[in-house]
């Protein structure tokens, strides 16, 4: 017999599980400066770019000190202020003829503007989102013009429009292997320069960064939303790459970070011109990771309109007091075109590799993190079903690199990734060891 009260209790149990899953205690690293684990993670993320010129530790700690935990506005104000300061300094340096100092300051301003905008997504129509994202891009372009190696902004033809990106060359003027780099759920193309492109260039690789639907300016300026069939995104990117005279066409690698650990493998399953694949971290079933620990009845609850409404009510009630829940659902509903939290969870269902992981044919590196609780177990699941030549690498807490996407340890991360790519492509790069 149908028991509506039982259904409501079950729904509230699932909602509670979801909130607990996103609670500050559920984190992939020890707290850093902030007790709030989401703020701590995002702070470590921006500081990690110090290794590649996208941050300076003291500046980041000042911005953190001026942030009031629980206030997304104070985060925006603190980081935007610091970015404005660096942008002004960079322009003064440039006017005085100090080109290197100007470049360095513009790069840091770019990353601080990116970080300032991060928690604004409760209202996707907030004009500060696009304005701040453009400030981040403009600062990056200013730095790119001053770079010692070419960083070319590009527009990649895509379904009647274009996707934004950067072609970052190693400066040799020669044909070299190419690394295609893409982010995932919440990164930007500019951030990828600090995360991997600069290191790749130093190793003698060219790197083509691109933003697809749901990401960066493709979302903010064109309102292109996420899609599960990511091969429709990557194939035009490969078409574009092969037209570039600097690209060695038989050595094109693809790396995807975070949710990109699903997107990139999905594309590689259908794009045979990808000759090496890196998933950092690997994601076999993005939907499963999103609803993990919510019990066996969560799918039925999501499909029951009455129970879904109760779930939405409980999630929305918890969000004001929970930074991670507030950010994840506001950000996700925007990028997936969902009007409610339960609708967002339903929209993630097609994002899995069950039907195509075995079609990946190129050598593949699957990366995992010992402390990664955002996509726990997903890397091993993906690795286990691959039939291609494959390697698995676990970053550990003892190394200081066990967090999601190795935040705070991008030097070590890039060393592992690019050493693997050197071996895979049997490269004899002059700049490698």
Contact of 210 with 133, CB cutoff 8 Å: no
Cα→Cα distances 6→100, 137, 286, 302, 342, Å: 66, 51, 29, 15, 19
The full DSSP string for 271-326 is -TT--EEEEET--SBHHHHHSTTS-TTHHHHHH-HHHHHHHHHHHHHHGGG-HHHH
User: Which residue segments constitute the domains of the chain, with CATH numbers given?
Assistant: 149-291+354-433 (3.40.50.1820)
Contact of 183 with 189, CB cutoff 8 Å: yes
pLDDT of residue 297: 86
Contact of 404 with 374, CB cutoff 8 Å: yes
Contacts of 135 (CB under 8 A, 6+ apart): 83, 87, 109, 113
pLDDT tens-place string over residues 121-176: 989 999 999 999 999 999 999 999 999 999 999 999 999 999 999 999 999 999 99
pLDDT of residue 287: 96
- Higher per-residue pLDDT: 47 or 292: 47
pLDDT of residue 32: 81
**Pairing relation of β-strands 161-168 and 206-210?**
antiparallel
Matching residue, tokens 């010992």: 370
For the chain, how long is the longest CA-to-CA vector? 80
The pLDDT of 405-413, averaged and rounded, is 97
Structure tokens of 289?
Answer: 């990771």
Contact of 397 with 371, CB cutoff 8 Å: yes
pLDDT tens-place string over residues 78-92: 999 999 999 999 999
Give this prediction's pTM.
0.92
Quick one: 7 exposed, middle or buried, by C-beta within 10 A (0-12, 13-18, 19+)? middle
pLDDT tens-place string over residues 7-32: 545 555 455 455 444 444 445 556 78
Proportion of the chain above pLDDT 70, given as a percent: 91
258 is catalytic: yes
pLDDT of residue 135: 98
Beta bridge partners of 352: 285
pLDDT of residue 1: 39
Q: How far apart are CA 87 and CA 408, in angstroms?
A: 24
The pLDDT of 373-387, averaged and rounded, is 95
How confident is the prediction for the chain on average, in pLDDT? 92
Q: How far apart are CA 353 and CA 153, in angstroms?
A: 32
Q: How far apart are CA 240 and CA 396, in angstroms?
A: 37
Structure tokens of 196?
Answer: 């991997």
Total length of the chain: 433
Burial state string for 33-45 with b = 16 or more CB within 10 A and e = fewer than 16 = ebebbbbbbbbbb
Catalytic entry in 40, 136, 147, 258: 258
Proportion of the chain above pLDDT 90, given as a percent: 85
Secondary structure letter of residue 50 according to DSSP: G
Contact of 197 with 191, CB cutoff 8 Å: no
pLDDT of residue 148: 95
pLDDT tens-place string over residues 342-372: 999 999 999 999 999 999 999 999 999 999 9
Cα→Cα distances 394→323, 360, 364, 367, 402, Å: 28, 21, 14, 6, 8
pLDDT of residue 4: 42
Above 70 in pLDDT, residue 310? yes
Cα→Cα distances 380→189, 270, 282, Å: 27, 21, 8
pLDDT tens-place string over residues 106-125: 999 999 999 999 999 989 99
The pLDDT of 201-215, averaged and rounded, is 98
């Amino acid at each position: 017999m149908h028991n509506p009260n039982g259904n409501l209790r079950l729904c509230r149990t699932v909602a509670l599980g979801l909130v607990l899953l996103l609670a500050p205690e559920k984190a992939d690293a020890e707290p850093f400066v902030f007790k709030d684990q989401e703020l701590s993670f995002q702070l470590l993320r921006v500081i990690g770019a110090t290794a590649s010129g996208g941050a300076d530790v003291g500046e980041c700690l000042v911005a953190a000190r001026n942030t009031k935990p629980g206030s997304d506005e104070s985060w925006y104000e603190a980081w935007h202020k610091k970015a404005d300061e660096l942008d002004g300094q960079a322009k003064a340096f440039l006017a005085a003829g100090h080109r290197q100092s100007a470049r360095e300051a513009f790069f840091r301003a770019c990353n601080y503007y990116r970080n300032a905008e991060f928690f604004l997504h409760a209202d996707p129509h907030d004009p500060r989102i696009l304005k701040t994202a453009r400030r981040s891009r403009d600062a990056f372009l200013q730095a790119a013009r001053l770079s010692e190696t070419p960083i070319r902004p590009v527009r990649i033809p895509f379904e009647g429009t274009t996707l934004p990106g950067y072609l970052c060359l190693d400066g040799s003027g020669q044909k070299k292997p190419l690394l295609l780099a893409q982010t995932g759920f919440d990164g930007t193309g500019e951030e990828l320069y600090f995360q991997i492109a600069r290191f790749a260039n130093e190793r003698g690789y060219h790197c083509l960064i691109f933003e697809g639907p749901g990401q960066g300016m493709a979302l903010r300026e064109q309102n292109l939303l996420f899609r599960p069939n990511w091969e429709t995104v990557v194939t035009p990117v490969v078409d574009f790459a092969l037209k570039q005279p600097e690209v060695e066409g038989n050595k094109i690698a693809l790396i995807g970070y975070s949710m990109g650990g699903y997107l990139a493998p999905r594309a590689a399953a259908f794009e045979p011109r990808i000759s090496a694949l890196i998933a950092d971290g690997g994601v076999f079933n993005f939907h499963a990771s999103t609803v993990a620990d919510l019990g066996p009845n969560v799918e039925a609850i999501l499909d029951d309109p009455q129970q879904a409404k109760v779930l939405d009510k409980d999630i929305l009630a918890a969000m004001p007091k929970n930074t991670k829940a507030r950010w994840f659902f506001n950000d996700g509903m925007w990028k997936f075109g969902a009007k409610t939290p339960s609708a967002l969870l339903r929209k993630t269902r097609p994002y899995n590799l069950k039907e195509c992981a075995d079609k990946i044919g190129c050598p593949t590196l699957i990366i995992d993190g010992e402390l990664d609780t955002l996509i726990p177990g997903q890397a091993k699941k993906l690795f286990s079903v691959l039939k291609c030549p494959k390697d698995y690498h676990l970053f550990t807490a003892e190394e200081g690199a066990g967090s999601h996407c190795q935040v705070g340890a991008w030097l070590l991360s890039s060393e592992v990734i690019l050493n693997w790519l050197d071996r895979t492509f049997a490269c004899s790069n002059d700049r490698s060891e």
